[in-house]
Every structure is written in structure tokens, then in C-alpha cells.
A and B are shown apart, each in its own frame.
Chain A
Amino acid sequence: SQQGEEDPQALSIQEGENATMNCSYKTSINNLQWYRQNSGRGLVHLILIRSNEREKHSGRLRVTLDTSKKSSSLLITASRAADTASYFCATHGNTDKLIFGTGTRLQVFP
């Protein structure tokens, strides 16, 4: 399968703590994207990082990309209960398809 792997599969933290999720993929990419999904609903695009970028920030989100290791991480700082959701990485490569990872389920307790 081309699907990427994410770890951990599930993560539980307290409000105010940071959450880090990792994504590994298999093929060469043009860019890597992170999406959030609340309770089996549609996905929301969070951030995109191009293959020639190493780090990107957006508000409380920080994404890193290491193309030599074919891996990326998403850091959510100062988490809130509203951040509770599933987070997916998705790679965009030469096939022009988005290939999603297996997802990390994040639970933030108030």
C-alpha cells in the first residue's frame, strides 16, 4: 500500500500541553499536507509544506519535513479541548493524487 503511517495512533494530553504527531511516507513528494477531522465529518486543511521547505508555522501549528527520511511532524502548541480531533498527513506526488496517512486521534482533556 502507498499509504503513509502516522504515530502515535492515539494521543491523550491535558489542555495547555503540546501535541506532536509524526508521519512517514513512501514515495517522493511535491508537498505534504496536514488535515484535521472532527468525529467522522469532513476534513479541514491545516497547512501545506513544499518538498523544498524544512519548517513551516501557522498560528499554534508547526510542521517540519525531512525528505531524506521521508517523514514529517506536526506540533500543536498550547493545546485546547477544541483541538480534539483526528489528524492526517497527506502527500501529493507525481501521480497528482493525495495519499493519506493512517491518522492520529488526539484527545485534549480540559
Chain B
Amino acid sequence: KAGVTQTPRYLIKTRGQQVTLSCSPISGHRSVSWYQQTPGQGLQFLFEYFSETQRNKGNFPGRFSGRQFSNSRSEMNVSTLELGDSALYLCASRPASSNNEQFFGPGTRLTVL
């Protein structure tokens, strides 16, 4: 089975712009979660989608949003980018019946200038 894929792998944006990141889960996995990783805050949960519905949400401002499509692919969007949004954004998928063991993609490295 192909693993979780994320595009793009690297992205450079400037403050005030918006960005959309994409994640394709492992075939058959219906749950997709997003995490932000920074040196200062570590790994922080953004949100989880299951069957096109947001099932869980972390403590991030409304500038961070996401969605999931009928084929389980997911996108996350960050509007009005700030310097502090520079991070590695990780997507993870899991089968519906798992103990929450997550399968991670390689991440998208976002740099905000």
C-alpha cells in the first residue's frame, strides 16, 4: 500500500498570504489528522476529519481550517499568514477501527517570510 502523501513538500510564503496544503491518506483510511510541529511548541494537534466531517479540533485560531473530500483526501488552509506559522505541517491517517495508531506523511515545510 502506498503511504500517506503530502503536497507540496516545501513552501515559502510571505506574511498576509494564504496557503493550502494537501494530504492523501493511505487507501481505506477514512480518518485524517493534521499536526503543526515547531521547535518552540513541539507537535500540536490541529484537527481531525472523518467521513468529510471535522471530528476533533485543537486550540488554533480560526485562520486554520480544513476539509475532507469524499475520497478521504484532505486539505488544510491557513489564511493571513504570520511569521509564527512557519512550521512543519504533518498529516496522519488511520483506519476507523484503530487504537488511534497514526500513519504519518513526510510533512510540508512552510516558511513564512
Contact = CB atoms under 8 A, between A and B. Distances in A.
Q: Is the interface of A mostly helix, strand, loop or mixed?
A: strand
Contacts, number: 58
Contacts of B33: 98
A80 interface: no
Contact of B56 (A44, A97, A101): A97
Interface in A16-71: 30-31, 33, 35, 40-45, 48, 50
A75 interface: no
A88 B43 contact: yes
B104 A96 contact: no
B interface bracket (residues with beta carbon within 8 Å of A): 20 to 34
A interface bracket (residues with beta carbon within 8 Å of B): 20 to 34
Nearest to A47: B101
A77 interface: no
Q: Is the interface of B mostly helix, strand, loop or mixed?
A: strand
26 contacts: A3-B42, A30-B99, A31-B99, A31-B100, A35-B104, A40-B37, A40-B88, A40-B107, A42-B4, A43-B92, A43-B102, A45-B103, A45-B104, A48-B99, A88-B43, A92-B100, A96-B55, A96-B56, A98-B100, A98-B102, A99-B45, A100-B43, A100-B44, A101-B42, A103-B42, A103-B43
